[in-house]
Chains A and B, each alone.
Chain A
Amino acid sequence: MRRIKQAFLYRLTYFLATPAFLWEIVFLCIPFLFIMSASVYLQGRGFSLAAYKLILTGAHMRIIVRSLVLALFTAFCCLVVAYPVAYFIAFRARSWKNALVLLLTLPFWVNFLVHVYAWFFILERNGIFNKILLALGIISEPLHMMNTLFAVAIVMFQVYLPFMILPVYLFFEKFDTRLLEASLDLGASWRQTFWRVLVPLTMAGAQLGFFLVLGMSFGDYVTPQLMSGGKTLFVGTVISDYFIINRSFSLGSAFTCISAVVLIGLMAISLGLFKLVAKGAK
């Protein structure tokens, strides 16, 4: 009886782990397989790479590159801004620290869509930004900001910024400030200490944030759709068009696969760059 119970308990551990694993396999891996297989299966013609040929030679690559550049630009700007902010909160804020972290998380409670929609008010021809500039006399005619790449970029930057600040801040928190003292003691200036000690040891946070923002901005559907009026095409809008409007599944799947591969490639390159920076710190 006891042996049966022991065997059961042993199995129990693996049983408990099953739902999570199952979820990943059924809802992550299998859908990927579906997408990949759909991209090479054309209705009526069976296995074919025609979809890929079409995508790789057409104007699609330009769209992918455009989304890439935008994603990179957004991620990079977020990184550059996030570092000083995280540094400030972690080391300089003192009594304000908890309040600042809380303020960082509050915007998440407002719906993403509503956030983007609010930018309408700000960037429109008779929106707030223009109204203020006109009133101050800086410009004589309202600026045309909506439906431009600029609008997409700035909204993306603002919306994804907290996603970069939080991971970076998390790793700043874990950082042992005594190492800064040690570096200064050994003769390094603040700038040298920053690059040789602080950056390498908080890099993991920067990496996490960078990849998070990269992935989110690359495949973003809402922001380009609303901010560029559907005129300029990005990866997110194209994929959704293929599946919802055109219903051309194999093309859509092929495009999805290619975009995914490109993104992974970009992430690999970025990872290599990060490692380079860490090495240069020595």
Chain B
Amino acid sequence: MRFLRRLRLPLFVSGVYALLYLPIVVLIIFSFNGSTDSHTWGGWTLRWFAELFRTPEIWVVVKHSLIVAFSAMALSLVFGVMIVCSLKERLDRFASLFYIPILVPEIILAVGFLYLFSFLKVPLGLQTLIVAHTLLGLAFSVPLLHARLAEMNAYSVEASLDLGATKWQTFLYVVLPFLRPALVSVGSLAWILSFDDFLIAFFCAGSSSQTLPLYIYSRVHVGVTPVINALSTFTLLVSCSLVILYSVLRVRLKEII
């Protein structure tokens, strides 16, 4: 009887995870669905994947999304590092303010961007999207990098200078490596936020440059083929392999060193 009581929590947690993955699992299974009618099961097939690779428009929007995501990530990381390393403790009071863009409902931000860009008469496109996503990226970049930098032992910098390194070398060889875990997590967060973003793209991307979420949204309204499912399964596969690759590389590197 006591044994069953101890199972309560693990069962609950498994249930929660099952709920979290329910749509994903459904999605993956249906990407192999043989029939075009999404409601009936028509046997296993890979034709949707084949069609996925044959549809050029999908890859165009994927390319757009990737460009935006990587640029926004790079910009938020670079600007974040710049402000965090230059202001250091003086940033203490302001760091939390940077969180505002993610606490505010995205739609308000999107409307604001629309106003700004039309006022400045800037044509909407990938660039405006990158600018907007960088703002979101900075919302994570500044507070989290600041918190990480605060954990660094101040004496490390002094030791490096004492041993003859210049400030720039100290930055490269001491500060940056220390920031690395935070850079990785902030970078991934900013990247995913940008790649995944629908609302801001909806308002600010303009007609010429569609991103992946916009494309998917347009298809949802028109008529969906499991190609979308196939695409999602594909992205999931890619991200899983990236994660596995990353952890394997880390272990291998440790063994070598």
**A residues engaging B (CB < 8 A)?**
12-17, 19-21, 23-24, 26-28, 30-32, 34-35, 38, 81, 84-85, 87-89, 92, 100, 102-104, 106-115, 117-119, 121-122, 124, 126-128, 158, 161-162, 211-212, 215-216, 218-222, 226, 235-236, 239-240, 243-244, 252-253, 256, 259-260, 263, 267
Name the residue in B80, B100, B220 with the highest tally of chain A Cβ atoms < 10 Å from its Cβ: B220
Whether, in the assembled complex, B198 has its beta carbon less than 8 Å from a beta carbon of chain A, the answer is yes
Q: How far is the CA of A182 from the CA of B173 in the complex (A)?
A: 42
> With A162-B20, A215-B104, A216-B106 given, is the CB distance from A117 to B82 under 8 Å?
no
B228 with A219: CB separation less than 8 A: no
Q: Which residues of A contact B38 (CB under 8 A)?
A: 121
B23 with A161: CB separation less than 8 A: no
> With A28-B135, A31-B109, A122-B26 given, is the CB distance from A17 to B82 under 8 Å?
yes
* Neighbour of A17 across the interface among B86, B116, B135, B231, CB < 8 A: B86
B98 with A24: CB separation less than 8 A: yes
- 5 nearest A-B pairs in the assembled complex, by CB-CB distance: A219-B105, A31-B112, A118-B23, A16-B86, A109-B239
B86 with A14: CB separation less than 8 A: yes
Total residue contacts A-B, CB cutoff 8 A: 200
Q: How far is the CA of A166 from the CA of B184 in the complex (A)?
A: 16
Whether, in the assembled complex, B19 has its beta carbon less than 8 Å from a beta carbon of chain A, the answer is yes
**B residues engaging A (CB < 8 A)?**
9-10, 12-13, 16-17, 19-24, 26-27, 30, 38-39, 79-80, 82-83, 85-87, 97-98, 100-109, 111-116, 119, 131-132, 134-135, 138, 142, 192, 195-196, 198-199, 202-203, 212-213, 216-217, 220, 224, 228, 231-232, 235-236, 239-240, 243
B107 with A126: CB separation less than 8 A: no
> Which residue of chain A has the shortest Cβ distance to B85 in the bound complex?
A16
Q: Which residues of A contact B85 (CB under 8 A)?
A: 16
> With A111-B196, A121-B30 given, is the CB distance from A30 to B116 under 8 Å?
yes
Q: How far is the CA of A158 from the CA of B198 in the complex (A)?
A: 18
Q: Which residues of B contact A16 (CB under 8 A)?
A: 82-83, 85-86
Q: Which residues of B contact A240 (CB under 8 A)?
A: 107, 202
Q: Which residues of B contact A23 (CB under 8 A)?
A: 79, 134-135, 138
> Which residue of chain A has the shortest Cβ distance to B100 in the bound complex?
A28
Q: How far is the CA of A137 from the CA of B168 in the complex (A)?
A: 71
A114 with B232: CB separation less than 8 A: yes
Q: Which residues of B contact A31 (CB under 8 A)?
A: 109, 111-113, 115-116
Q: List 27 A-B contacts (CB under 8 A).
A: A16-B83, A19-B83, A24-B98, A24-B135, A27-B131, A34-B115, A85-B13, A88-B13, A102-B243, A103-B17, A104-B20, A106-B240, A109-B192, A109-B239, A109-B240, A111-B196, A113-B213, A113-B220, A117-B224, A124-B39, A161-B19, A215-B102, A221-B107, A221-B199, A236-B105, A239-B107, A239-B108
